[in-house]
Every structure is written in C-alpha cells, then in structure tokens.
Structure 1
C-alpha cells in the first residue's frame, strides 16, 4: 500500500512536463491521496472491528489494484488525481485494520514489535516507492507503465497473503453503524492522544514537505531537473524515519516523542534556511533529521496511545491518529500550491516552517505537563 503511495512523488513532475499543468494542480494531485485516505478512514476505519480484519484488507487491496490500472491508462492530470483518490481510499480502508492485525497477531512477548512495524511500514513503503520510481524514470523508457504494472502484481500477491492469514478479530454487530463518519478515541487514551496530536501533525507536515513539495522545490528553487534526485529526496526522509522507528524503539515512549519534537524543530529551521540560501544539500540533511524525528515521534505516539486502548476501540483510535496525520500531510501542501504563485516559494516555505515550529512547541509543553502530573 505505502510502496504505491510513495511511487508518484517523482512521477508527478513527469506528468507536469507531459501535460503542462500549473504547480497548484501538481500539489492537488499529491494531496488527493490524503483526501481519499481520510474519506475511507472516517467511514471504514472501524469496520474491521465488526466484520473482521481479513475482509477489509482484501477489499482494500482490490481497490488498490484498480488504482494501479487507472495510473497505467491515465491520459491527463484529471485521471491521475482520480487515481490518487482511489489509491488513498484503498490505503485508508486498510491502515487501521492492518495496524490492529499486527497488534493482535503478534505474540505476547512481541506486542511492542507489532506497533513498531505498523509505523515503520508506512515510512519504509513511502521511501522505497519514491526511490524505485525515481530509478525507473531515470533508466527505463516507459516508467509509468512499468511502475504500476509491478504494483498491480504486488497487490494481487497481497490478496493471496491476506487470504492465507488467520483472522485476528471477533465479529460483532454494528457494521453499518460504524460507517457513520466519526472520531473514536478510547476514553482512557484521550489525554495521551491530545498531547501527541500536535507532534503527529508537525512530523507529518515534514513528510508532506519531503514527498509532496520537494520535487517542485528541487526544480523551481534549486533549479535541478532530475527524476533520480526527486526520488532520492523523497527517499531520504522516509528511509530515515523507518530506520529511526526501529533504532529508537528501545527508548521509553516519552523520551522518544521528545526526541522527535527536537528533531522536527531542527528540520523545520534547516528546511527554511535551505530554501532561503538555495542550498540543496542542507535541505537533504534537514529531510534526514526530519525523518528521524518522524520515526521516533510517530512510533512513540503509538506506543503511548495504543496500550491504553481496549480491543473494541483499537481500530477507531488508530483511525483518529491517522486523521490528524493525513490532514497535516495533505492540506498544507495544497495551501503552498495556492500561495506559491502570488507569494513565491521562499515566503510560503517560511510560513510552512513557522507552523511546524508552533506545533512542536505546543506538543513539547503538553509532554512536559503530562510528565509533571505523573510525578506529582
């Protein structure tokens, strides 16, 4: 799922060259994924709590397969945006069921590993998708067809794997009622959720910057026109996030989320400085630091929230986490696309960085308050 989500990062500038659409359409094509993701998450996010994990995952993979065919056949930007929406719907429907399955299928002594894999799969898939797509564009004559044909095959293999996997959830009534859009955070987890939400938003805004805006910045600010560079820029942040999610899993969750906060602040300052000075290397380094912050903070957030969530509300709580994440991932990118023309990229990126810094400050204060309350 996330391999496919990361693949369009270096492809979008290719589409822009082929069909000659403005930057705002490019950012809309990126953010359309987040819109589809949220729509599915808000409606089907708790569905697997009622009908089981396997039916939801198989259905989502079938929708994912349809999106790959749409990308292969796309004749214009409208089709690409529609394919991104369908892709987002597939991933949004699958994410909470997938994360809940990992938590439930993991042996008792490896429950923490299940939560870590749930967060690493997101960033690791995005990283590989961006890198492999960049390589395909650079070294093959028909990258779009090759990339999405491979992803279609992977979706079919995924369906087979899920069909052979044991069901981990007990069916219960209320499936139709669960499709009514709502946020559903377990009562015992609400305090931790509220404290983690601004940190999650800040780190996912950094993710949107590296995966959604970086190709445009590379071309328009740093004046480098290379699909491979676009793929690498999209890769470094997500790869650093995946690695740090594993490396820092031994840290106490509270320490992990604070580490993520500090790294996100440094990354935001570095990204703004790189754009103002025209230093591409600084932006890449900042993306690596931001990826470390993302991996540490997001994994720690899940480790703080999920143990407080009972089985009946697990998928709904996961859905709420990802609602915060994907609003931060998609909406600010669209706003940059709208504001870049009248204000210029440097000004809009300064504003983007300022919002991230404000969010991490709010998150840091919330974490210190929880620590102080626990000691009292």
Structure 2
C-alpha cells in the first residue's frame, strides 16, 4: 500500500512524519545543488586540462542522459522495495560521485563522476517525489516542494560553487568534499525515515522503460512540446556554457559571477513557480513562454552589446518564464491523464525535456570551434526565441476551441467531477513531479 505506513513489526525508532517530509525535501535540494555545482567550475577545468567546448558540453550532457536512463528504469522501483533503501543507495552513490570529482585529474574521471551523479540522481528522483507526497503535512505542500526545491537547489549549488571558486582554497575539491559529507549524513538519516510503502512483487518488471501519451492528451502534448524544448534548451545553455559566456563574451573574470548567472536563471524560475502555482495552467504556459521569449531577446541584445548588467536582467526575465512555462505545461498535461496513465505520460514529458536539456548544448559545443562562442550563443538564443514564440502561438490557438466550453458547465477545470475524480486527485500529479 502506498501513502500509508506498512507493518512496523521490525521498524524500530522513526522520526516523525513531518520531520521526514523536511528530510526528504532537503535531500531533493541537496541533489539539485550538487547537479549545478560543477557549472561554474567548467571554465577552470577547461583552462586546466585544455579541452574544447564540445568536450565541455559532453561532460554536461552525459549527466543528463545518465539521469534520464536511471529515471526511466529504476525511477519507480521504490513503489516495490520501499523508499528508504532506494534513497539510501542513491545517496551513497552520490557521495561516491563527489569523491570522484575530488580525485578528477582529467576529462576521463570528470565524465565518470558526471555519469555516476546522473545515475544516482535519476534513481533517487522517483523515490523522492513519491516520498514528499507520502509524508506531506498538508494537501499542497508536496506539490510546492517538488516544484520549488529543484530550482532553489540549482541556484544554491551554482552560487555556492561560485563563491568557493572565487574566495576559498582548493576550489575544485572543497565544494565536493562538503557535499560528500552532506550526502553521507543524509544517507544515515534516511535509515530513520518513516517507510510509507510495503514491499510488493513486480520490482523487476518495473525496470522496463515505459513512456507514452494517452490519446486524450496527445493534442495538448504536441502543443506543449515547443514550450518544453524552449525552456529546457535555455537551461542547458546556462548550465553548460553560461560560465564561458560570462568570461569570454561579457569579459567578466570573477568566478562568482559565473555562478550568479545560473543562480539568477533558476532563482527567478523558483519565484515564478510559487507566484503562478494557483493560476490556470494553460494561461501560465503561454505567459511563461512569452516571458522566456522576451528574456531571451534581452540576453541576445546583451551579448551583442557585451553588457553584463543587461545580460543579468534578461536572464532574470527568461528564468521567470522558464519556471512558469514548464510548470504550466506540466500541470496542463497532468490533469488530462487518468491515474494509471500518469507515470508513462510523465516519462514522455521528461524524455522530451531532458533531451532538450542536453542535445542542443552538445551541438552548441561542437559549433564553438568554427563559429566562435559569441555567434554560437547568439544562434542558440535565436533558436530558443523562435521556439518560445511558437509556444506562445500554439498556446493561444489551443485555447480558442475551449472558449465556448469555458462559458458553460463543462469548464476544463470541472473535468475531475465529470470523470469521477476529485480536484485533489488531479493535483496529485503536480506533487509527484520529478526533478
């Protein structure tokens, strides 16, 4: 049974459920902070080991692809073996990845560290998202935590790494040493987490990747694809080449600024997610895509003028669009799926999102040697701008057929009552978002 405590015959002492909720939320934040910690360090690695921008983006992309593979295979295994063992294993694997980062003396170990980190994060993602919902003190705290903690974690990781890189000794090892300690402590604490799932058969069959879109959601899914690709492609650019752009194009040598670029994007996304969480998801997706387009245009102008202040303004606007547009797209799709269809729909969403997160960044890295970082970043921004505008148009067109229905008793927001589902049941998909 999921969402209720199983038999406690051999359970031993457990922390209260509310404390468990915050422990799992903190674990999610720590995983996301670790994922963005290398971003400000890429410039240093590149200067130290003399590798190309293509290699740099490959180092970034292998993390995303490893995460996606783990998410699609072991992402649901905690429903069968329990949340605690999956979380403990993933946390120890993440700690091991931090040790590999500390020992890295070339691209080979850097790639290994990122692959191990991606596998650990992907394995933990499903268990974390489910445990947050299982343990939430109130009906909406799980959704809010799963929406905000990833972007806050990304912001904290990039900012912390930038600070240590600029002002602390051993800047390429100290961040990972601190994170390794954090993950070991969290792994120990998870042993006292209340278990919300009883063991049940089917663990091996759950490893088979499943991704599909139910018929009733296919039109909306196609409408959301430009939004998903635009938002995550922008995120991929910042987390892979953001530090290089600030150093080489904007001529800012302070490493803290490289971390602040990622922090500004993800921090603005976190704030926007909180602000728009109760609004109509289709409106949020369209408005967020418009904000992303405006922010991208500002950053492209900043690159042309080599203006760091304007670049940060554009990044903040684009970041707010990033957070709002993705949340709106996710919620608008989630409410169209029946409970038994959600897992495969979510997998489809994340396949599109994570491929957009990694593939364009790798292509940009391949283009840098011939086109230069300035022109590559400009072309990348133009692609995101076109996709964001396409998402705005698609969202506006998709809303028109719904207008007549919106004036009658069959409003879209009343769909749960028509299908026998409660509003809370529809909100549950928002709460099981995966980072």
> Do both proteins adopt the same fold according to a TM-score greater than 0.5, normalized to the shorter chain?
yes
Q: State the Cα distance separating 1:181 from its structure 2 match.
A: 2.8
User: Do 1:99 and 1:115's aligned partners in 2 also have CA atoms closer than 8 Å?
Assistant: no
Could you tell me which of 160, 182, 193 is aligned with 1:132?
160
1:244-283 correspondence runs (5 A): 244-283=272-311
The reply to whether residue 103 of structure 1 matches residue 133 of structure 2 is yes
Give the structure 1 partner of residue 245 of structure 2. 217
Give the structure 2 partner of residue 318 of structure 1. 346
User: Do 1:96 and 1:318's aligned partners in 2 also have CA atoms closer than 8 Å?
Assistant: no
Q: State the Cα distance separating 1:185 from its structure 2 match.
A: 4.3
Give the structure 2 partner of residue 167 of structure 1. 195
How many Å separate the matches in 1 of 2:287 and 2:266?
A: 17
Deviations 1:299-354 (A, max 9, x none): 22333333444555544443332222211111111111110111122332232123
The reply to whether residue 31 of structure 1 matches residue 96 of structure 2 is no
Structure with the bigger percentage of helix: 1
Could you tell me which of 325, 328, 332 is aligned with 2:356?
328
Decide which moves more: 365-374 or 238-247: 365-374
Q: State the Cα distance separating 1:160 from its structure 2 match.
A: 3.5
The reply to whether residue 54 of structure 1 matches residue 84 of structure 2 is yes
The reply to whether residue 345 of structure 1 matches residue 373 of structure 2 is yes
Q: State the Cα distance separating 1:194 from its structure 2 match.
A: 3.4
Give the structure 2 partner of residue 182 of structure 1. 210
Q: State the Cα distance separating 1:58 from its structure 2 match.
A: 2.4
Larger Rg: 2
TM-score, normalised by the number of residues in structure 1: 0.91
Equivalent position SS for 2:204: helix
> Using a 3 Å threshold, how does the CA distance of structure 1 residues 54 and 301 change in structure 2: closer, same or farther?
farther
User: Do 1:208 and 1:330's aligned partners in 2 also have CA atoms closer than 8 Å?
Assistant: yes
Give the structure 2 partner of residue 9 of structure 1. 39
> Using a 3 Å threshold, how does the CA distance of structure 1 residues 61 and 185 change in structure 2: closer, same or farther?
farther
How many Å separate the matches in 1 of 2:133 and 2:218?
A: 19
- Give the total of aligned pairs: 374
TM-score, normalised by the number of residues in structure 2: 0.80
Give the structure 2 partner of residue 373 of structure 1. 401
Could you tell me which of 286, 291, 315 is aligned with 2:314?
286
How many Å separate the matches in 2 of 1:80 and 1:362?
A: 37
> Using a 3 Å threshold, how does the CA distance of structure 1 residues 169 and 181 change in structure 2: closer, same or farther?
same
Give the structure 1 partner of residue 416 of structure 2. none
The reply to whether residue 121 of structure 1 matches residue 149 of structure 2 is yes
Q: State the Cα distance separating 1:273 from its structure 2 match.
A: 1.7
Unaligned runs of 5+ in 2: 1-30, 405-435
Decide which moves more: 236-245 or 169-178: 169-178
Decide which moves more: 97-106 or 76-85: 97-106
> Using a 3 Å threshold, how does the CA distance of structure 1 residues 101 and 369 change in structure 2: closer, same or farther?
farther
User: Do 1:23 and 1:337's aligned partners in 2 also have CA atoms closer than 8 Å?
Assistant: yes
Equivalent position SS for 1:32: helix
Q: State the Cα distance separating 1:10 from its structure 2 match.
A: 0.9
Q: State the Cα distance separating 1:70 from its structure 2 match.
A: 0.5
How many Å separate the matches in 1 of 2:97 and 2:171?
A: 16
Equivalent position SS for 2:276: helix
User: Do 2:286 and 2:396's aligned partners in 1 also have CA atoms closer than 8 Å?
Assistant: no
The reply to whether residue 145 of structure 1 matches residue 155 of structure 2 is no
> Using a 3 Å threshold, how does the CA distance of structure 1 residues 293 and 75 change in structure 2: closer, same or farther?
same
User: Do 1:45 and 1:319's aligned partners in 2 also have CA atoms closer than 8 Å?
Assistant: no
Q: State the Cα distance separating 1:171 from its structure 2 match.
A: 5.0
Decide which moves more: 323-332 or 311-320: 311-320
> Using a 3 Å threshold, how does the CA distance of structure 1 residues 57 and 245 change in structure 2: closer, same or farther?
same
Could you tell me which of 147, 158, 172 is aligned with 2:186?
158
Give the structure 2 partner of residue 238 of structure 1. 266
How many Å separate the matches in 2 of 1:188 and 1:49?
A: 26
Deviations 1:249-308 (A, max 9, x none): 232222221221111111221222222221222211111111101111222233333344
Query: RMSD of the TM alignment (CA)?
Result: 2.2
Q: State the Cα distance separating 1:128 from its structure 2 match.
A: 0.5
